[in-house]
Amino acid sequence: AREIRINPSILAADFVNMQTELARIAAADFAHVDVMDNHFVPNLTFGPQMVERIQQTSPIPLDVHLMIEDPDRWAPGYAELGAASVTFHLEAARDPIALARRLRDIGARAGVAVKPGTPASALDELWGEVDQILVMTVEPGFGGQSFMPETMPKLRLLADEAARRGSAVWLQVDGGISASTIAQAAEAGADTFVAGSAVFGADDPGAAIAALRGQAAA
């Protein structure tokens, strides 16, 4: 069976009790960390100083998702502080290949994200340069939005292309992933699932993670 990863988004956690919140997702594979700069998206979260403390405190590795302008300048710092993976948006990067290489050189998994309106073909030059591709299943910026099923054909194209190339790239989905939507994303080829409200909004996040894992594998 193929490997399934569940990465809860701490955007849906209580920011002033982050250590307790991280302990509630010990059953997850990675903690997904949404960095927003109020420019690339109309919302603001936190920057390197906060992410570094989360890194020092987290029982699980960090999957950093940068929704920021000028990732060419800022993304390497997140790899240097020890994040397991650093994902930048293709739409914001000046030189995505050079940036991905730099992230890998530092020792992080390199990830590239695409918004719902960005086609699969925009990623043509990045095969072999990245370890994960993040297909946004909502417009980036906020948690709690509805899953966009119209992004599934793009995911399917990328999954087919990965299979054709024998690529080990992880295909990640982010936005509106819940027990009722995760199966369609898995069926279209995703193996790595970000879920914010579906995990942190549950009474028992551990049980929610297990349920998502079950649905994705079904």
**Residues assigned a catalytic role:** 34, 174
Q: How far is the CB of 61 from ligand DX5 (least distance, A)?
A: 16
Residue 176 interacts, among Zn ion, ligand DX5, none and using kind-specific CB cut-offs from 5 to 8 Å, with ligand DX5
Segment 5 to 64, residues that bind Zn ion, using CB under 5 A: 34
111 binds ligand DX5 (CB under 6 A): no
Segment 59 to 78, residues that bind Zn ion, using CB under 5 A: 65
Q: How far is the CB of 10 from Zn ion (least distance, A)?
A: 10
Q: Of the candidates 176, 190, 208, 216, which one interacts with ligand DX5 according to CB under 6 A? A: 176
First-last CA distance in the chain: 10
CB–CB of 42/141 below 8 Å?
yes
Any binding-site annotation on 9? yes
Q: How far is the CB of 180 from ligand DX5 (least distance, A)?
A: 12
The token duo for 49 is 């100083």
140 binds ligand DX5 (CB under 6 A): yes
Any binding-site annotation on 175? yes
> Based on CB atoms, which residue is closest to ligand DX5, 111 or 143?
143
154 binds ligand DX5 (CB under 6 A): no
Number of residues in contact with ligand DX5 under rule CB under 6 A: 22
Q: Computed from CA positions of residues 70, 72, 75, 77, in that sequence, does the dihedral angle turn out positive or negative?
A: negative
> Based on CB atoms, which residue is closest to Zn ion, 128 or 195?
195
> Based on CB atoms, which residue is closest to ligand DX5, 12 or 84?
12
196 binds ligand DX5 (CB under 6 A): yes
71 binds ligand DX5 (CB under 6 A): no
How many CB atoms are located within 10 Å of the residue 80 CB? 15
Q: Any idea how long the chain is?
A: 218
Judged by phi (left if over 0) then psi (alpha if -120 to 50, else beta), residue 107 lies in left
Burial of 209 (0-12, 13-18, 19+ CB in 10 A): buried
92 binds ligand DX5 (CB under 6 A): no
CB–CB of 152/130 below 8 Å?
no
Q: Interface residues with ligand DX5 (CB under 6 A)?
A: 9, 11-12, 32, 34, 65, 138, 140-145, 174-177, 194-198
Binding-site members are: 9, 32, 34, 65, 141-144, 174-176, 196-197
